[in-house]
Amino acid sequence: MDIEYILGLEKIDTDIYRGPAVESELIRTFGGQVAAQALVAATETVEAGKAVHSLHGYFLAAGKAADPTVFLVDRLRDGRSFSSRQVRAVQNGETIFSMQASFHVRDDIGPEHSDVMRRVPMPEDFAEGDFTMPVSSRALLEEWGDWEIHVVPPEKYEHNKYTPSQQVVWFRSKRPLPDDERFHVCTLAYMSDMTLLHSSLVPHPGHKVQMASLDHAMWFLRPFRADDWLMYDQVSPSAHAGRALTHGRIFDRAGNLVAMVTQEGLTRTLRPGSQSIPVKTPGSD
């Protein structure tokens, strides 16, 4: 499904928006979709001179992919330099996702520094690879058909010996996207949920788990385009008690650190007969 359609929210009243239902083989709404649509709703209420610099969201209940989602925006603060918004995503009267986002003026100045990108092959230097994910999760690959996703072979880069689980992914939109900075930011919010939680399974090949995003935080640091290659450097510092913590740094191909993501997700050992990520079965429509 085109990202333009996914992010094309309908305004139904002041600070109330509706996101479309998106055709999917998944039963639950993809977490990146809900987060991205919530960010679109928040952005629509903020003056053009401010850009989002951070968001923090909790996935409170499983959304239904076949249903539209209503987004309710609260204007918490509008100051000279910062604006704050709170967004609730609602389906059938139930809040499925809650997010706060902060926006900052574009012309502030201060000290400058940045982490350096890990040395890895460029995306053209190797073929698109498989993900470290349970077989029952691979329906996600079809959901992500509009994106080029290249997992860097682990033998092609130096590993951090202090990090038990790490994965490096190049990704981008296959199609050119509109020349709108806010659109690219919201698109990256969608993309940021791709593959990140699966990085926690790298040290556990073959271990079948139930997977779901629990919370999601992002910081937007520098301008970028989501239709040019971005390198997602992912680590999982901890997995314990059926939950995994993951962290990702996103660089453009020139090596600029453009965004950072932290996510905790459910990685509970799968019960017999269950699916890692629930998908439709024939006749379930």
pLDDT tens digits, one per residue of 179-193: 999 999 999 999 999
Q: Which of 83, 102, 263, 276 is catalytic?
A: 263
> What is the side-by-side strand order in the sheet with 82-91?
10-13, 16-19, 69-78, 82-91, 94-105, 50-59, 209-220, 257-269, 243-252, 230-240, 166-173, 147-151
- pLDDT tier at 285, thresholds 50, 70, 90: low
N- to C-terminal Cα distance for the chain? 18
What pLDDT, on the 0 to 100 scale, is given for residue 133?
47
Q: How far is residue 84 from each of residues 8, 57, 81, 262, 279, measured CA to CA in Å? A: 22, 14, 10, 20, 36
* For range 152-168, the mean pLDDT: 93
Q: Are 99 and 39 in contact (CB under 8 A)?
A: yes
Active site residue 81: no
Q: Which of 213, 234, 236, 276 is catalytic?
A: 213
Q: Which of 165, 193, 200, 227 is catalytic?
A: 193
Residue from 26, 1, 68, 23 nearest 280 by CA: 26
Active site residue 228: no
What pLDDT, on the 0 to 100 scale, is given for residue 274?
80
What pLDDT, on the 0 to 100 scale, is given for residue 145?
78
What pLDDT, on the 0 to 100 scale, is given for residue 140?
63
User: CATH top-level class for 3-106+127-269?
Assistant: mainly beta
Active site residue 167: no
The yes-or-no verdict on residue 157 having pLDDT over 80 is yes
Averaged confidence pLDDT in the chain: 91
